[in-house]
Amino acid sequence: MTRFRTIFVIIILFFLAVALIIRHATTMRAHLEGAHDPQRTFKCQRPPLPNFRKSVNYVAWINQYFAEGKDPNIAATYARLCPPEAQNLFESSESLKQQLTELMRGPAWKPARHPEVETFMREVEPYIDLFVQEAQKPQYCLQLGPTPDTPWTGTISGCSEAWYAVHVLLARAWCESEGRRSQMTVAWDICLKNSTHLAQSRSMLLHDMASDVRLLVYQSVRDALHHGALEVSDYAPVRSLLTDSEPPASALTAALYSEWAITLSMFQELYRGGFLNRKLADEIWGLDADELRRARVRPDTLVPLMDEYFVKILSVTEQPLTIDSLRDVRRLHNEAAQKLAPGHPLPWLIFLEPDQVFASALRSLASRRATEIILMLHEYHHEKGVWPDSLKKLEEPDGAASHIDPFSCRPFVYKVASDTFLLYSVSEDGLDNGGKHGQWSSSPFRETEPGTDFVFWPVQK
């Protein structure tokens, strides 16, 4: 009888243990996939962790992730959007790039005075037509393909944002013609649609490129106002265009998952079978195989640290995008790096630094809000004949944060000066420097010059 009771108790304990394990696994999965949080229901299964005994096919995982819910027939869109011959023409001439950069800022220009630009636009016209056509599609689908140089991650097919096409569209909008106002609106619409595709591509690289494209468009709108190229009837439609084109906050979170998988795949290849791949270590810029060997790296210890790091970074994307987001990402990176020995050679590789992507997204958000405010200020001035003495005089949609500078979480700095006004963001240092303009840095490893603001109006050269 005692033996029977013992067996019975063991069976009960066994089933209780199984139930607890299942419950714990379900809870963890819900936590990681966000099943308990309506804001996170879009998330897919997290990337698998390498065990170094059997390699994980991360290229296949990422391709499946990229294609989730999308039509596989449009997988090669980017390869067709940016043919090498068009990009090479653009990249091969610094003079051409400089002219396009200047022409896209206005005022109106005549093709006869810029023969190099005119020739280039004529040569790439078929590609521009394709770019415009593809931008009308509801979504893009990317694919990875392994290459001899990057067997662990592959390459994103035609991952360029077709920079040449964006420059051509924005510059061509200023070309003298009777329908220039319409050309501008169309150019902004096409570039913003392409930016939305880039931001929703689930790639950190392309998400960053999307912010760059939007920054160019917002600058173009302000230039159009500065040169008087828009009429009052254009203000409201352009504002709606800017607001409606803003990618959802979930796009950045989604992009982090593929970056997570790419980082894990690179690490798996670096420690193939659990042993250091010396050849690869010597090929990766900044790494040294002998230094790694002396560091006595244990991949089975580092993988959980990487996993924990990405989970924490993902949690940052669930909060509204502000300067605090950028600071949290930088703090998490430093904390992760400090868990390894000082001077360890791997932190920059295994704990990616996504702060530049957050910074670009933050700059884009600030620029879009400021541009919408400027359009509203011009509407107010046309109706009242004066500039408002405060941004509070402008209409603001209920629950919107359109007047808030994401770098300070306070209203943008606004000052009326005689027959114009001053509008600026305090930028990344969070300090009001009196409207001293400083360009946002395009370098991925540098913050904006301290002691400066970003002035949106008057338009800065």
**Domain match, 334 and 399 both:** no
**92 and 192 fall within a common domain:** yes
Q: State how many domains the chain has.
A: 4
pLDDT at 366: 95
Inter-residue contact 65 to 141 (CB < 8 Å): no
Is the confidence at residue 352, as pLDDT, over 80? no
Q: How far, in whole angstroms, is CA 3 from its chain's centroid?
A: 65
| Pair of tokens at residue 99 | 């002219």
Q: Are 85 and 217 found together in one domain?
A: yes
- What is the DSSP pairing of strand 410-411 with strand 413-417? unpaired
Quick one: pLDDT at residue 39?
35
Is the pLDDT assigned to residue 45 strictly greater than 50? yes
Tell me, rounded to whole angstroms, the distance of Cα 249 from its chain centroid: 11
What is the mean pLDDT of the segment spanning 218-227? 95
Say if residue 190's pLDDT is above 90: yes
Residue 281, C-beta contacts closer than 8 angstroms, at least 6 positions apart: 270, 287, 288, 289, 292
- Kindly report, residue by residue over 385-415, the tens digit of the pLDDT: 999 999 988 876 655 678 899 999 999 999 9
Please report the pLDDT score of residue 138 as a whole number.
76
Instruction: Provide the CB-side half-sphere exposure for 324 (13 A, CA).
Output: 10
Is the same domain home to 17 and 72? no
Give the single-character DSSP code of 354. Answer: T
* 68: amino acid identity, one letter: E
Say if 246 falls within a structural domain.
no
* Res. 41 pLDDT band, cuts 50 70 90: very low
Burial environment of residue 73 by CB neighbours within 10 A (0 to 12, 13 to 18, 19 or more): exposed
In a domain, 266, yes or no: no
Residues 313, 429, single domain; the answer is no
Given 353, 386, 421, which residue is the final one in a domain?
Answer: 353
Range of the domain at 141: 52-240
Residue 35 and residue 76 share a domain: no
At residue 28, the pLDDT reads: 36
pLDDT tens-digit series, residues 254-268: 888 988 888 888 888
Same domain, 189 and 337: no
* Residue 259 belongs to a domain: no
Q: What is the pLDDT of residues 382-392, one digit of tens each?
A: 999 999 999 98
Helices (H) and strands (E) in the chain, counts: 18, 7
List the one residue out of 52, 311, 378, 78 whose CA is nearest residue 206: 78
Which segments of 268-398 are extended strands (E)?
none
Strand partners, 423: 414, 457
- Asked whether residue 45 is domain-assigned, the answer is yes
| Largest CA-CA distance found in the chain, in angstroms, rounded | 104
Instruction: Answer whether the bond into residue 347 is a cis peptide, omega within 30°.
Output: no
Alpha carbon of residue 96 to chain centroid: 27
Residue 290 pLDDT: 81
The pLDDT value recorded for residue 197 is 85
Tell whether 82 and 185 lie within a shared domain.
Answer: yes
Task: Provide the mean pLDDT of the chain.
Answer: 80
Q: How confident is the model at residue 425, as a pLDDT?
A: 95
> Is 416 inside a domain boundary?
yes
Q: What is the pLDDT of residues 71-129, one digit of tens each?
A: 666 655 555 666 666 767 777 788 988 999 999 998 999 988 999 999 999 988 888 88
- Pair (93, 232) in one structural domain: yes
Give the integer Cα–Cα distance in Å for 87 and 79: 12
Single out the residue of 73, 168, 185, 74 nearest to residue 126, CA to CA.
168
Of the pLDDT bands very low, low, confident and very high (cuts 50, 70, 90), residue 356 is confident
What kind and span of H or E run contains 244? helix 232-244
pLDDT classification of 23: cutoffs 50, 70, 90: very low
Within this chain, do residues 378 and 398 fall inside the same structural domain, yes or no?
yes
**Of 347 and 10, the one with more pLDDT:** 347
What is the torsional sign of CA 154, 251, 426, 191?
positive
Does residue 125 fall inside a structural domain? yes
- Distance separating alpha carbons of residues 191 and 189, to the nearest angstrom: 6
- Rounded to the nearest 10 degrees, the angle between the axes of helix 163-172 and helix 115-123 is 120
Measured distance CA(165)–CA(190) in Å, rounded: 10
pLDDT at 12: 64
Residues 6+ apart with CB under 8 A from 95: 116
Structure tokens at 459: 């338009």
- Regarding whether 57 and 192 lie in a shared domain, the answer is yes
What digits encode the pLDDT tens for the residues 300-348?
A: 888 888 888 899 998 898 888 999 999 999 899 888 888 876 667 777 7
330 and 384 belong to one structural domain: no
Tokens representing 431 are 């300090």
